[in-house]
């Protein structure tokens, strides 16, 4: 059994903010894989289904970001889920927009949602880091992460589509395959542009030898 957790803040005013990309991730997985509607449970919203035969729980804590660990710990205890089977989707300032990386364990790097989960369960859960980019200065971080995605952030739908499509690999624990599958959608191979070495020109044929006699050639010039 896997517990997939999306981090975010509850309420419509936060629904399309960068800090809520974790909610968006589990919403897209639920939609694309036919999970039943979320219901209130464990101080969060829970949906239960399966991904390629693996029983999978989708959880969106409704405690606000800095208390996310309460909801995750309640669900984990109830279902007797090991911390090694918990996967958390969250926004990542240190990755370029649209990039994705998986990390097992480690610190929270100041992310309040990760900090809260660690305080309840320790650090050994898996994180799916969803890049949103950095505003450039630490004083701008708070308004940036709580700001909404721009219309120009066209990478967002590709990223959500990719991770939902590859979610069965994630639930199965095949993290490299999951990352590769997402990358094929977010960074598809470019078509050949024909920029290889130019083709050699066809050789110019040698002119045919003139079989006329000198007298015939002289006569032909005056015709």
CA distance 115 to 99: 22
CA distance 222 to 20: 92
Q: What number of other Cβ atoms are within 10 A of residue 77's Cβ?
A: 12
| 19 given a catalytic annotation | yes
- Which of 19, 33, 90, 111 is catalytic? The answer is 19
Sheet holding 100-104, edge to edge: 39-41, 44-51, 54-61, 2-6, 86-92, 126-131, 100-104
The H-or-E segment that residue 162 falls in is helix 155-165
CA distance 65 to 186: 27
Identify the residue whose tokens are 């050639």. Answer: 217
Active-site positions? Answer: 19
């Amino acid at each position: 059994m896997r517990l997939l957790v999306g981090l975010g803040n509850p309420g419509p005013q936060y629904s399309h903010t960068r800090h809520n990309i974790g909610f968006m991730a589990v919403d897209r997985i639920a939609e694309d894989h036919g999970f039943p509607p979320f219901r209130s449970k464990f101080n969060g919203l829970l949906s239960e289904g399966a991904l390629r035969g693996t029983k999978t729980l989708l959880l969106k804590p409704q405690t606000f970001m800095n208390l996310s660990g309460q909801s995750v710990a309640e669900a984990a205890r109830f279902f007797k889920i090991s911390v090694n089977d918990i996967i958390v989707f969250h926004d990542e300032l240190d990755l370029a927009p649209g990039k994705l990386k998986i990390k097992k364990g480690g610190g929270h790097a100041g992310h309040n949602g990760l900090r809260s989960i660690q305080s309840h369960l320790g650090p050994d859960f898996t994180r799916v880091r969803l890049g949103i980019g950095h505003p450039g200065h630490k004083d701008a971080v708070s308004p940036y992460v709580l700001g909404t995605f721009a219309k120009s952030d066209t990478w967002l739908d590709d990223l959500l589509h990719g991770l939902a499509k590859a979610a069965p690999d994630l639930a199965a624990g095949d993290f490299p395959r999951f990352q590769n599958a997402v990358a094929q959608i977010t960074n598809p191979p470019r078509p050949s542009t024909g920029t290889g070495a130019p083709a050699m020109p066809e050789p110019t044929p040698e002119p045919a030898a003139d079989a006329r006699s000198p007298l015939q050639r002289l006569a032909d010039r005056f015709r």
